[in-house]
Amino acid sequence: MTELGHGAPTFGNSQCVARLCAAKCLRLLAVVDGTESTNRIVDFITAFGEGRAATEAVVLNVQSKRLDARLRGYQNFKKDEIDDRLINELALPILNSVRSRLEKAGILCVSKAEIGDPVTTILRCAAENACNVILVGAQPPKGIEGWMPNAMRVWLRSDLALRLIALAPASVVMVK
């Protein structure tokens, strides 16, 4: 610590970061879906949390129900069975894999599986867990979008990350 002429202490950059992390834990909400973007998000968190003692991750997998799927009279009768399948067969294997990778890297994490609209569920989960940053994976361009310039692609897509950026109270990081 060095002193300025007016008696105000100054800290080096690493000292400032250490004091901020000690004062406030950084909590990340990682939205994972089991695709390659999940691996990039986990790599980002492990690289970011390296050397930091105050990083926590809330790992979220959101399963949305297909509205066009018909159950032919079983909408209410099989609802619990369908929800159970979405959580246990689709979400839990993804969450267990991510949690084990983060725990090996020494990052505290909590995993959650939710069913519902992705944007509203992510925003609700970020608010409930007091997350500072929301991490989402960038979806690769499909079809003709791959040939368009990035600026034009942004206007044409109703991407999850773009909707989150517009609505989220916390910072949103799109991991490519």
**pLDDT, position 146:** 56
Q: Is 135 helix (H, G, I), strand (E, B) or coil?
A: strand
**pLDDT, position 148:** 54
Mean pLDDT of the chain: 76
Residue 167: closest CA among 123, 126, 127 = 123
Predicted structure pTM score: 0.73
**pLDDT, position 22:** 46
In the predicted structure, residue 156 carries a pLDDT above the cut 80? no
Range from 2-6, 90-94, 127-131 carrying the lowest mean pLDDT: 2-6
Residue 170: closest CA among 139, 129, 137 = 129
In the predicted structure, residue 12 carries a pLDDT above the cut 50? no
Tens digit of pLDDT for each residue in 25-81?
789 999 999 988 899 999 999 998 887 777 899 999 999 876 555 555 555 567 778
Tens digit of pLDDT for each residue in 109-122?
999 999 999 999 99
**pLDDT, position 70:** 55
In the predicted structure, residue 17 carries a pLDDT above the cut 50? no
Choice between 97 and 21, residue whose per-residue pLDDT is larger: 97
Q: Spell out the residues 6+ positions from residue 61 whose beta carbon is closer than 8 angstroms to its own.
A: 31, 32, 33, 34, 90, 91, 94, 95, 111, 112, 113, 114
Which secondary structure element, helix H or strand E, spans residue 157, and what is its range?
none
Range from 122-126, 127-131, 143-147, 151-155 carrying the lowest mean pLDDT: 151-155
